[in-house]
C-alpha cells in the first residue's frame, strides 16, 4: 500500500536507485564472485560510514516505534524504514511497542519481519514505568541488527518511549531514536540522525545537548507540491515524529513525562535544566491536518498538554517562563487580549484588528475546551486520531 507523500518519493527514489546501481556495479566488478546479498551488505556498510563517520560495527543505538492501531500505515512505514540501509552488523535494536493496540498491527509486523528472520520468544524484565507490560516479547534476529515486538495494554506514547528507553539502557545503548509508525524516513534519515547525535552528545565531553531534532516535512494529504521543512517556533520544541536522545539523561529525569505532549515535555525539562536541543539534517515525512476541525483538535491537544505541564512545574520559574513564551494561551486574560488583539504589526490597520479579534475569540474557545479536558482527564495521555491525515 503506497501511502507516502509525493515529496518523499522525489527525495527517496534517487537515493535508492543510486545504491541499487552501486550494488550491481560491485557485482560486475567482482565478476559474479559475490551474491546480491553480500554486495548489498558491503554497500550498506560503505554508505553508513559515509553518512555517520562511524564504522557500522562500532554503532550502538535503539530505535523505539510506538504503535497504537497503525494497521493502515504500517506496511508503507515498514517499506520505507527497511529501505533505510541500516547494516546488519550494527549493534542496534528496533523496538516496536504495541501500546493498547487492538487492530492487526502485530500480525503485519510478524508477517513482514518473518521474511528476514525466524521469531523467537524472549523474556524481558518488569518495567519500572508500566507494571502491565508483557514479560514475553518476540525477537527477530540474534546479534547485530535485531527487531523486538513488545506489548502492553497501557495506552500512551510516553509510556511506550519509556519502555523503549529501559530496553536501550539494558542493552548498554547510550542513544535512542523515536520514529512514529505513521511517518516515513528517507533512505539516509536514520544514518544522518544517528551520526549527528553521536557527534553532538557522545563525542564532545563538554556537551550539554541531550535531545536532537529532525527536519519535519508535512504537506497536507492531497497536496502535490514538494514540501519544505516546517519551521520550529517554540523554545522547547521537539520533532515528535522523529528525534533522538541520551538514554541516560532520560533515565536521570525519571522518564518522559506521562502527558499528551510527551516530546515537548522532554524538551521543556531540557531547557529548564540549561540543556540544549540540537538540530540535525535528518528528514521525516508525514501529513499535516488538512481540515479546520482537525487543526482545531490539534491545537486543543497542545494547550491541554501545556496546562498539564504548568501544573507539573508549578515551582519551577524557568520552566513556567518557557511555557508562557511558547503557549500564549496560558497567560492571563489581559495578556492574551494584548497578544492576540494588539500585535505591533496590526496597529493602525482596521482589517488586521478585526482578524485579531477573531484570532482572540478562537483561542479563547481553544482554552475553554482544553480546560474541559483537564477537568475530565487531568493525567490523560492519549488523544483522538486526526482523520484528515489518514
58 part of a folded domain: yes
Minimal CA–CA distance to 301: which of 336, 253, 260, 340? 260
**What pLDDT is recorded for position 387?**
80
pTM for this entry: 0.94
Residue 311 has a pLDDT of: 94
Residue 1 lies in a domain: no
Q: Which residues of the chain fall below pLDDT 50?
A: 1
**Sign of the C-alpha dihedral computed for residues 269, 272, 275 and 278 taken in this order:** positive
Distance CA 142, CA 223 (A): 42
Torsion of CA 22, 27, 28, 29, to 10 degrees: 90
Answer yes or no: do 221 and 128 share one domain: yes
For position 349, what pLDDT does the model report? 62
337 with 201, same domain?
Answer: no
**Could you read off the pLDDT of 298-331 as tens digits, one per residue?**
999 999 999 999 999 999 999 999 999 999 999 9
Residues in Cβ contact with 57 at an 8 Å cutoff, skipping those fewer than 6 apart = 89, 90, 91
Angle between helix 333-341 and helix 350-376 axes, rounded to 10 deg: 140
Whether 213 and 282 share a structural domain: yes
Looking at the structure, tell me whether residues 255 and 381 fall in a common domain.
no
Look at residue 370 and give its three-state secondary structure.
helix
Alpha-carbon span 188 to 190, nearest angstrom = 6
Position 110 in a domain = yes
374, part of any domain: yes
Same domain, 365 and 221: no
Which pLDDT tens digit goes with each residue over 352-362?
778 888 889 99
CATH number, domain at 254? 3.90.550.10
> 123 to each of 120, 135, 154, 167, 170, how far by Cα in Å?
10, 6, 19, 12, 13
User: In which order are the strands placed within the sheet that holds 175-179?
Assistant: 119-123, 136-140, 146-152, 91-99, 60-67, 175-179, 242-246, 209-217, 276-285, 184-185
Select from 234, 260, 288 the last residue of a domain: 288
- Domains identified in the chain, total number: 2
Domain residue limits at 198: 6-288
Phi, psi of 272 (to 5 degrees): -70, -20
Amino acid at each position: 500500500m503506497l501511502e507516502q507523500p509525493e515529496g518523499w518519493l522525489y527525495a527517496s527514489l534517487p537515493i535508492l536507485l543510486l545504491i541499487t546501481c552501486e550494488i550491481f556495479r560491485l557485482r560486475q566488478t567482482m565478476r559474479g564472485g559475490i551474491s546480491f546479498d553480500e554486495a548489498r551488505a558491503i554497500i550498506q556498510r560503505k554508505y553508513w560510514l559515509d553518512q555517520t563517520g562511524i564504522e557500522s560495527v562500532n554503532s550502538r543505538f535503539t530505535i523505539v516505534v510506538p504503535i497504537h492501531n497503525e494497521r493502515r500505515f504500517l506496511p508503507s512505514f515498514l517499506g520505507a524504514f527497511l529501505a533505510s540501509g541500516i547494516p546488519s552488523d550494527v549493534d542496534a535494536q528496533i523496538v516496536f511497542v504495541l501500546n493498547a493496540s487492538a487492530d492487526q498491527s502485530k500480525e503485519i509486523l510478524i508477517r513482514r519481519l518473518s521474511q528476514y528472520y525466524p521469531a523467537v520468544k524472549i523474556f524481558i524484565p518488569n518495567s519500572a514505568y508500566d507494571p502491565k507490560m508483557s514479560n514475553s516479547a518476540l525477537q527477530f534476529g540474534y546479534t547485530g541488527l535485531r527487531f523486538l515486538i513488545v506489548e502492553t495494554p497501557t495506552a500512551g506514547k510516553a509510556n511506550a518511549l519509556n519502555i523503549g528507553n529501559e530496553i536501550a539502557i539494558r542493552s548498554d545503548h547510550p542513544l535512542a531514536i523515536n520514529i512514529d509508525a505513521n511517518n516515513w524516513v528517507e533512505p539516509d534519515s536514520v544514518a544522518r540522525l544517528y551520526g549527528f547525535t553521536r557527534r553532538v552528545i557522545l563525542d564532545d565531553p563538554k556537551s550539554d545537548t541531550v535531545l536532537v531534532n529532525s527536519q519535519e516535512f508535512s504537506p497536507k494529504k492531497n497536496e502535490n507540491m514538494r514540501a519544505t521543512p516546517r519551521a520550529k517556533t517554540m523554545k522547547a520544541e521537539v520533532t515528535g515524529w522523529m528525534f533522538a536522545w541520551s538514554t541516560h539523561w532520560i533515565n536521570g529525569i525519571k522518564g518522559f513525562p506521562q502527558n499528551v505532549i510527551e516530546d515537548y515535555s522532554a524538551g521543556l525539562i531540557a531547557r529548564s535544566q540549561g540543556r540544549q536541543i540540537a538540530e540535525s539534517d535528518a528528514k521525516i515525512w508525514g501529513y499535516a491536518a488538512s481540515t479546520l476541525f482537525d487543526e482545531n483538535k490539534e491545537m486543543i491537544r497542545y494547550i491541554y498538554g501545556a496546562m498539564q505541564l504548568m501544573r507539573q512545574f508549578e515551582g519551577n520559574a524557568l520552566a513556567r517562563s518557557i511555557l508562557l513564551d511558547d503557549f500564549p494561551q496560558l497567560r492571563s486574560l489581559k495578556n492574551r487580549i494584548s497578544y492576540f488583539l494588539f500585535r505591533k504589526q496590526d496597529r493602525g490597520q482596521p482589517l488586521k484588528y478585526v482578524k485579531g479579534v477573531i484570532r482572540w475569540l478562537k483561542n479563547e474557545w481553544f482554552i475553554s475546551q482544553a480546560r474541559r479536558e483537564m477537568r475530565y482527564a487531568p493525567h490523560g495521555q492519549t488523544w483522538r486520531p486526526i482523520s484528515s491525515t489518514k
